[in-house]
């Protein structure tokens, strides 16, 4: 399917945050590959730290880049002052984006504006300029359903402070309180709870909600939303490399430099022998967590690759350090790096299992790579993703925290052995390979994601576009 003959031009908008920008870049490349003209607008921080040019090009794929201010200086610490950052995105960035759109629409007739689901206020900018709006939802469809029902039908949820409470939602397994995303809890960050609430409110203003997940992974959940506010599964939005395709120029932002010598190390390991450990770009492990994981790894006697990213400079959270005895004894058994190319690691034949924090990007990547998991979630959507991985997808096991809020070394060791050598290990690996094939097939001609993607292009191609702003800029 191609949009070449219809001059379909899409404006995509997101803030300069790695976890938000990468799904947009992946989707932008896919749109351009199907004849859609794409302009990607993001905040100035990306120009300075991530994207160095005004276009991104790979073979016949070209994406025009535009930048607008989020209202804060480049030196402002957005992580440390997150509430101020979000408020600036809501107000100042919205105004600056509107100025940019006014200039862009002088020479472009946009068929659609696609905004990130966690910046929902920019839907108003699209409406002010007469552009149909879509949201890209870069978490699980399960999280989409939970947020929708929590803010639209709160009677479905029990007292969230009761640890024994059970939530029953359409299309989903029974959820314990510990399985729910932390942003809906009254004790959680009020800024994020408000943001999620705004996202749900803005769903009434958009024509399309596009999910980065795979229909076959969350079929019952997606079907249950069809009569409410449907979500079109167009994923997995992951590196083509994970889908067995070549990617000559990666359309991905990575704020840290990968230590690729770890791939050479993996080349010297036996097939399906290495235990891969990584907790993403944001999680900071405490000293007790570091100690217990290190002890569990040692006792399991399995080769391992551990990505132990140091906290960002100025981070207020006290980070744990690798025990000195562990650093001395790991030689010949394992390798510790600060960062790696996760796609290359997951696709390496030496990797047997992945201990993950269960961020949705890592969750999708490990499913597409067909790698069994040990889920070690902590907050936000990771808790629900762990439930999906272990009880719905059935591709791994979950580590449980003890009374002190930290998983014991014994549980770490037990789960490693269980998922690699335990009685259910063969079935877990088989199931992981089945989902890998299902994810790949969804992206092929006739697949569910390809069908939804084509449906979206057809619909925006037929939409009348207006470029006159309804307010003075």
Q: What is the rounded CA–CA span in Å between residue 273 and residue 43?
A: 43
List CB contacts of 44: < 8 A, sequence separation 6 or more.
16, 67, 68, 69, 70, 74
d(CA 34, CA 258): 31
Model pTM? 0.91
- SS3 state at 307: strand
The answer to whether 10 and 39 are in contact (CB under 8 A) is yes
469 belongs to a structural domain: no
Tokens 């070690």 — which residue? 376
Residue 324: give the domain boundaries. 261-436
Token pair of 39 as six digits: 């302009």
Give pLDDT < 50 ranges for the chain: 1-2, 4, 248-249, 465-473
Q: Where are the beta strands (DSSP E) in 153-204?
A: 166-167, 175-176
Give how many domains the chain has, as a whole number. 2
Taking a C-beta distance cutoff of 8 angstroms, is the pair 204, 181 a contact? no
* Same domain (yes/no): 215, 317: no
* 232 & 282 share domain: no
For position 57, what pLDDT does the model report? 58
Can you give the pLDDT at residue 318?
58
Q: Are residues 429 and 452 in the same domain?
A: no
Q: Flag whether 73 is in a domain.
A: yes
Residues 458 and 408 in one domain: no
Q: DSSP state, 388?
A: I
Locate all alpha helices (DSSP H) within 249-359, ordered by sequence. 261-267, 287-300, 324-329, 342-346
Question: Are 272 and 329 in the same domain?
Answer: yes
For residue 324, the Cα-to-chain-centroid distance in whole angstroms is: 34
Residue 359 belongs to some domain of the structure: yes
Give the model confidence (pLDDT) of 228-271 as tens digits: 999 999 999 998 889 888 664 455 666 567 788 999 999 999 99
Asked if 37 and 10 sit in the same domain, the reply is: yes
Per-residue confidence (pLDDT) for residue 389, from 0 to 100: 97
Q: What is the reported pLDDT for 313?
A: 57
CATH number of 329's domain: 3.40.50.2000
Does one domain contain both 27 and 112?
Answer: yes
């Amino acid at each position: 399917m191609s949009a070449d003959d219809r001059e379909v031009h899409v404006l995509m908008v997101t803030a300069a945050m790695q976890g938000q920008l990468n799904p947009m870049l992946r989707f932008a490349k896919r749109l351009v590959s199907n004849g859609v003209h794409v302009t990607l607008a993001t905040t100035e921080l990306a120009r300075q730290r991530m994207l160095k040019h005004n276009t991104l090009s790979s073979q016949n794929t070209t994406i025009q880049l535009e930048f607008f201010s989020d209202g804060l200086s480049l030196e402002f610490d957005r992580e440390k002052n997150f509430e101020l950052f979000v408020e600036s995105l809501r107000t100042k960035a919205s105004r600056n984006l509107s100025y940019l759109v006014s200039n862009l629409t002088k020479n472009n007739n946009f068929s659609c504006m696609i905004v990130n689901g966690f910046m929902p206020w920019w839907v108003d900018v699209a409406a002010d300029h007469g552009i149909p709006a879509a949201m890209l939802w870069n978490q699980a469809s399960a999280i989409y359903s939970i947020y929708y029902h929590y803010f639209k039908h709160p009677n479905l949820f029990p007292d969230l402070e009761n640890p024994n409470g059970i939530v029953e939602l359409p299309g989903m397994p029974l959820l314990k309180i510990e399985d729910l995303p932390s942003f809906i809890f009254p004790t959680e960050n009020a800024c994020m709870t408000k943001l999620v609430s705004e996202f749900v409110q803005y769903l009434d203003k958009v024509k399309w909600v596009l999910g980065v997940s795979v229909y076959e992974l969350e079929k019952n959940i997606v079907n249950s939303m069809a009569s409410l506010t449907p979500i079109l599964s167009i994923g997995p939005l992951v590196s083509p490399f994970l889908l067995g395709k070549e990617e000559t120029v990666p359309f991905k932002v990575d704020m840290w430099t990968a230590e690729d010598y770890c791939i050479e190390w993996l080349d010297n390991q036996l097939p399906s022998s290495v235990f891969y450990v990584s907790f993403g770009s944001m999680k900071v492990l405490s000293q007790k967590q570091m100690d217990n994981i290190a002890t569990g790894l040692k006792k399991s006697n399995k080769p391992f690759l551990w990505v132990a990213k140091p906290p960002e400079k100025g981070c207020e959270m006290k980070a744990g350090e690798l025990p000195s005895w562990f650093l001395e004894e790991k030689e010949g058994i394992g390798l510790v790096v600060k960062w790696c190319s996760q796609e290359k690691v997951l696709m390496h034949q030496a990797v047997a299992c992945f201990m993950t924090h269960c961020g949705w990007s890592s969750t999708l990547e490990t499913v597409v790579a067909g790698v069994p998991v040990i889920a070690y979630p902590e907050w936000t959507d990771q808790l629900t993703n762990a439930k999906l991985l272990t009880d719905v997808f059935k591709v791994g096991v979950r580590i449980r925290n003890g009374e002190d809020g930290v998983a014991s070394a014994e549980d770490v060791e037990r789960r490693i052995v269980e998922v690699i050598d335990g009685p259910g290990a063969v079935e877990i690996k088989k199931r992981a390979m089945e989902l890998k094939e299902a994810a790949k097939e969804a992206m092929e001609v006739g697949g569910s994601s390809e069908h939804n993607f084509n449906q979206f292009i057809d619909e925006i191609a037929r939409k009348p576009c207006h470029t006159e702003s309804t307010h003075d800029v």
